[in-house]
Homo-oligomer: A and B are copies of this chain.
Amino acid sequence: MKESFLTQEKKHFFMNEAIKEAHKALALAEVPIGAIVVLNDEIIGRGYNKRETSQDALSHAEVTAIKEACNSIDSWRLENAQLFVTLEPCPMCAGAILQSRIEEVYFGAFDPKAGACGSLINLLEDTRFNHWCYVESGVLMDPCASLLKDFFKDIRAKKQKKKEMLEKD
C-alpha cells in the first residue's frame, strides 16, 4: 500500500494552486477544472481545461499539466511527482497519470459520471497495470465542487432566460 508524506497544509496549498488554474478556465467560459504537477515541493506543470477554446479533445487540465511537467524536466518519467486536480480524473487523464509514472494523486470533487479513480472504475489502483498510485480524494472538496456547481447553475440560468425571451417574442 502506497502512502503520502505531505502535510495537510501542503496538500491545501497545492490544491489551491490547482483551483487557481480552474479559474483560468472559468475566465474562458470553459468547464472550470485545474491541475498542477509537483516535484520536490516545486510546481513543474500547470494546466486547465480548454477543450472549447482549443477544439482539441486532449486539452484537459491534467494532460496539459503532465505535458508541461515532462517538458520541464525533459523526461517522460515523473517518478516521485504528485498531481493535484480539482476534479476526479477521467479515463484518459488517469491513463496519462499511469503512463507518466506519477506517484501520488490528490483530487477535490468526485465525478460520478466519468470518474476513473474510484467512481466508475479505478485505474490508478489497479495493480494489474505496470504502475499504480497513492490516491487521496476530497482535498478541498467543497471549493472544487462549488466551482463546477456554480458554473453549471449559471449555464442553466442563461438557457432558461434565453428560452423565456424567445417565448415572449
Instruction: Name the B residues within 8 Å of A123 (CB-CB).
Output: 91, 121
**Contact partner, A129, options B59, B76, B95, B120, Cβ 8 Å:** B120
Q: Counting CB contacts under 8 A, is A36 at the interface?
A: no
- Which chain A residues numbered 34 to 73 have a C-beta less than 8 Å away from chain B? 51-52, 54-60, 63, 66-67, 70-71
- Which chain A residues numbered 63 to 121 have a C-beta less than 8 Å away from chain B? 63, 66-67, 70-71, 74-78, 90-96, 98-101, 113-114, 116, 120-121
- Nearest to A75 among chain B residues (CB) is B55
Q: Counting CB contacts under 8 A, is A128 at the interface?
A: yes
- Nearest to A89 among chain B residues (CB) is B95
Q: Counting CB contacts under 8 A, is A130 at the interface?
A: yes
Across the interface, do B92 and A70 meet the contact criterion of CB distance under 8 Å? Answer: no
Across the interface, do A58 and B51 meet the contact criterion of CB distance under 8 Å? Answer: no
A36–B139 alpha-carbon span in the complex (Å): 39
Q: How large is the interface on A (under 10, 10 to 19, 20 to 34, 35 or more residues)?
A: 35 or more
Instruction: Name the B residues within 8 Å of A116 (CB-CB).
Output: 91, 95
Say how far A66's CB is from chain B's closest CB, in angstroms: 6
Instruction: Name the B residues within 8 Å of A121 (CB-CB).
Output: 121, 123, 126
Say how far A64's CB is from chain B's closest CB, in angstroms: 10
**Contact partner, A114, options B56, B60, B130, Cβ 8 Å:** B130
**Contact partner, A55, options B74, B114, B126, Cβ 8 Å:** B74
Contacts A70-B56, A78-B57 given; indicate if A91 touches B95 (C-beta within 8 A): yes
Instruction: Name the B residues within 8 Å of A101 (CB-CB).
Output: 57
**Contact partner, A66, options B58, B113, B130, Cβ 8 Å:** B58
